[in-house]
Structure 1
Amino acid sequence: MDIARALRPGAGDSVAIPGFGATFKLESRDSGTVAVVEHPFAVGTITAPHRHTREDEHSFVLEGEIGFRSDDTEVVLGPGGFITKPRGQMHAMWNAADRPGRILEVIAPGGFETYFRDLAELLASVTPPPGTALHETSEFADLASRYGLTYGNPEWLDDIVARYGLTPPNH
């Protein structure tokens, strides 16, 4: 990147993903190395537990209270809180409060940020057959595979959903 980059609050391309969107602050195609993505968390939202094989994620809480579980580590952080979720660990994030929250996530190395664009497109274009969840479709499996991503149902998920009154993830 040869020039300074500045974005005003709220600026950046965005995609809508139910309960959890993505606003692109810096993409790896521009930086050459990392991506920075802002994620809003609606009340009651938890991300589907997942594992990255190619990148680490570093999250800063901007507002609200966001819970993080990465393998055996669980923490709820408020504004200014920070956590690293290393590749290879099963993790999820959730809104732990009764008001919206937001995080800023640094993804290194970059490249994974395009997953959010592709996921938003998939959500808008694929209607699973009756009785089938999106995560059970071949299109979803192909998308996750392209990004070296695996989803799981760890033993801690139901407990977190119950303790925080969350809507279970649909992945």
Structure 2
Amino acid sequence: MTSVSICSPARVAFKLWGADTGGAVSVVEHPFPVGALVPPHLHTREDEYSIVTEGEIGFRSGDREAVLGPGGYITKPRGELHTMWNAGPAPARMIEIISPAGFEHFFRELAEMLADGPPQTEDAVSALAAKYGLEFGRPAWLPDVISRYGLTPPPGA
């Protein structure tokens, strides 16, 4: 099921693995095609720090909402429901710093799982998310964000 594919996992660029930092941090780069939306989720084990490098990316984390351009950044603490989306008319890109490291392996495993198409059941994706302490939500504010930005949510979001 692609509803939990966090920003096209096959196109995630791994910049720094946890093995390179003694487990302190990992760094990945995410592309955001026009209309892309990451399903609302929270992390139970790590904090994330996002830095926009290209285009405009919208963020909602807890009660905070912002649209950021290149150089803009936001913190997304563990346990706080958050989502991201392409808020502009052109492709966008961001760097994600994950602390502590380890969650980068979720993206690698998800890309491998989806390499031959969607998994046969939701259970495989749910099990992978649970393995990494990832929880998904359907907040009441999501339809408004989708409408305001003309987003194309993944199935199930």
TM-score by length of 1: 0.82
C-alpha contact (below 8 Å) 2:17/2:26 kept by paired residues: yes
Look up the equivalent residue of 1:77 and give its one-letter code. L
Show structure 2 runs of 5+ residues with no match.
Answer: 1-5
Q: Distance in 2 between matches of 1:30 and 1:19?
A: 21
Q: Counterpart of 1:116?
A: 107
C-alpha contact (below 8 Å) 1:20/1:39 kept by paired residues: no
* Secondary structure, counterpart of 1:48 in structure 2: strand
Q: Distance in 1 between matches of 2:118 and 2:14?
A: 26
Q: Distance in 1 between matches of 2:118 and 2:93?
A: 29
Q: Between Structure 1 and Structure 2, how many residues are aligned?
A: 150
Asked if 1:107 is matched to 2:92, the reply is no
Bigger RCO (CA 8 Å, 6+ sep): 2
Asked if 1:31 is matched to 2:21, the reply is yes
Identify the match of residue 140 of structure 1 among 120, 125, 134. 125
Asked if 1:157 is matched to 2:142, the reply is yes
Q: Counterpart of 1:72?
A: 63
Shift in CA distance, 125/97, structure 1 to aligned 2, threshold 3 Å? same
* Secondary structure, counterpart of 1:153 in structure 2: coil
Q: Distance in 1 between matches of 2:71 and 2:119?
A: 39
Moved over 2 A (4+): 16-21, 124-129
Alignment of 1:35-54 (within 5 A): 35-54=26-45
* Secondary structure, counterpart of 1:169 in structure 2: coil
For residue 19 of structure 1, report the CA deviation from its aligned partner: 8.3
CA-based RMSD:
1.9
Higher gyration radius (CA): 1
For residue 128 of structure 1, report the CA deviation from its aligned partner: 5.0
C-alpha contact (below 8 Å) 1:17/1:120 kept by paired residues: no
Identify the match of residue 49 of structure 2 among 46, 50, 58. 58
Q: Distance in 2 between matches of 1:50 and 1:58?
A: 15
Shift in CA distance, 139/19, structure 1 to aligned 2, threshold 3 Å? closer
For residue 124 of structure 1, report the CA deviation from its aligned partner: 2.4
TM-score by length of 2: 0.89
Show structure 1 runs of 5+ residues with no match.
Answer: 1-15
For residue 169 of structure 1, report the CA deviation from its aligned partner: 2.5
Q: Counterpart of 2:3?
A: none
Look up the equivalent residue of 2:131 and give its one-letter code. R
